[in-house]
Amino acid sequence: MYRKQVRRRRALLALLVLGSFVLLTLTYGQRSDGFQRGVSTIFSPLQTVADRALKPARDLVDWFDQTFEARGENERLQAELERTRTLAVAGQEALQENGQLRKLVELDRGPALASSAYEPVTGRVIARSPTIWHSTVTIDVGSDDGVQVEDPVVSGDGLVGRISSVEGGSAQVMLLTDHASAISAKVVPEGVQGVVKPEVGNPEDLILDFIDSTRKVHRGEIVVTAGWRAQGLASLFPPGLPVGEVTRAPVVEQEASQQVHVRPYADLRDLDLMQVLTGGSRR
Amino acid sequence: MIVTPKILARIVAIAVLGVLLQLSFFSRVTFLHTSPDILPALVVSLALLGGSMTGAVAGFSIGFLVDCLLVEALGASSLVLLGVGYLAGLFRERFEIHSVLVPALLCMGLTLFAELGFAAVQLLLGVDAPLSLLIVRDMLLKSIYAFFLAWPVYLGVRRALRPALVEEPRVRRRSQPTVLGT
């Protein structure tokens, strides 16, 4: 009896392990299938409700986090934090949301998007991946709102990422910090082109790779999307979207590894509202 | 733990609630640049109360749900969390839990195991970008957070599953024996 029970338990464990490997083999590197989309669609309203309900608690934790970090800063930052704290008590939530929306509107009117056929759709983050290995967030707009896979996503500060999969009422955004992300970009005013890739585990540091080592890039220079178009192919991103600022550009690294370090403009750890640029000229 | 349909429904509700809380709240707050992860602690709690098979099945299911909701490749989270659940359940079956610190320490250790396991799976599958040393800091901080989050998670799960626990009968107040003549 006991042996039979042990055998049954071992069989179940083996089945689960085998099931995991089979699932991994079948789905790794594939687009989302109907089943996943179905589950995601069912849970999407629940996630939206949970997101709204938990926002005050998130803001409270953020407030503690900011306070804790600010203790190590200088006096000027301390004073700034005090002001922020006062704002938080007085309903910072609404002000912050308003500010984000304003910046998004300003980005709409910016030169990067003015000449393109992109139509921005504003979405709110409702879920985020718990691991640093996948930098993805779920937003509450989907194919019903015109969002499609590979659409660029921006926040008020700059480029955030692109849509990796989409359902009726929600979509997954692959952030710039996801290990699979790669964006063609250029440094202005130098015009040096390269590919922006993340450094996994460090959301404040991107790498502009494959740059021309004969042309020097300097600290403080701005990195924007390149938005190339050649032989019927085009970049997913319109040209001129702000990506970040060059923070480290040692000559040795530029010559040996053809790369410099970039800090993204968008705060990729604290995203709430973002815009999906739908219906781009690439279609 | 005796798993009746009613208890199974409670376990499913706990799992769904845990996943929703993780994706909508814990993943979106950062403290010292790191987000807490309660899912290993949740799986450990279920395994400590239900044993290795309950832990393994719960871990697999929770991982599967997370991957479905995030539209990631299925199987990676399931594999890691089923390992966490099985190990925690095995611990419960082999050793007596004497101290209240044990669940918290187990959650801390197995959260680190889960982080390392997930890193191993990702590295085996291939990572297209360079890695930062900050990953190590992230893993260690997640483990420390798990130690503190384990208390409410374990107590909450134990309370929700109390009717199914064989070893934990309801505590009844016994009346003091009376002494005649006093």
pLDDT one digit per residue (tens) for chain A, 283 residues: 678 888 888 888 899 999 998 888 888 777 667 777 788 888 888 888 888 888 888 888 888 877 777 666 666 677 767 677 666 666 656 666 677 676 766 665 555 555 567 888 999 999 888 888 778 999 999 988 999 998 999 988 889 999 998 988 899 999 998 888 888 898 887 788 889 999 888 888 899 988 887 888 888 888 999 877 666 677 788 888 899 999 988 888 777 778 899 999 988 888 888 999 988 755 4
Interface test with A, best of B3, B12, B26, B29 (most A CBs within 10 A): B29
Q: Under an 8 A CB cutoff, do A51 and B24 touch?
A: yes
Cα→Cα distances B157→A44, B17, B168, Å:
25, 11, 14
Q: Does B124 touch chain A (CB under 8 A)?
A: no
Residue A3 lies in a domain: no
Task: Quote the pLDDT of residue B40.
Answer: 95
Is A82 in the same domain as A116?
Answer: yes
Is A129 in the same domain as A47?
Answer: yes
Domains of chain A: total? 2
Is A76 in the same domain as A96?
Answer: yes
ipTM of the complex: 0.77
Please check whether residue B85 is in contact with residue B44, taking contact to mean a CB–CB distance below 8 angstroms: yes
Q: Under an 8 A CB cutoff, do A28 and B125 touch?
A: yes
Interface test with A, best of B42, B53, B72 (most A CBs within 10 A): B72
Closest residue on chain B to A270 (Cα): B28
Domains of chain B: total? 1
A 10 A CB-CB count for B79 gives 21
Q: How far is B111 from chain A (nearest CA, A)?
A: 12
Closest residue on chain B to A196 (Cα): B129
Residue A84 lies in a domain: yes
Say yes or no to pLDDT of B174 above 60.
Answer: no
Could you give phi then psi for residue A177, rounded to 5 degrees? -90, 0
The parent domain of residue A194 ranges over 183-264
Interface test with A, best of B17, B70, B133 (most A CBs within 10 A): B70
CA-CA distance, A84 to A70, in Å (whole number)? 11
Contacts of B70 in chain A (CB under 8 A): 127, 129, 134, 136, 138, 172
As a whole number, mean pLDDT of residues B151-159 equals: 92
Q: Does B35 touch chain A (CB under 8 A)?
A: yes
Residue B175 lies in a domain: no
What CATH number is associated with residue A200? 2.40.10.350
Task: Quote the pLDDT of residue A283.
Answer: 47
Contacts of A132 in chain B (CB under 8 A): 135, 138
Q: Under an 8 A CB cutoff, do B69 and A127 touch?
A: yes
Q: Does A26 touch chain B (CB under 8 A)?
A: yes
User: Which residue blocks in chain A are alpha helix, DSSP H?
Assistant: 2-27, 34-70, 75-89, 92-109, 111-114, 251-257
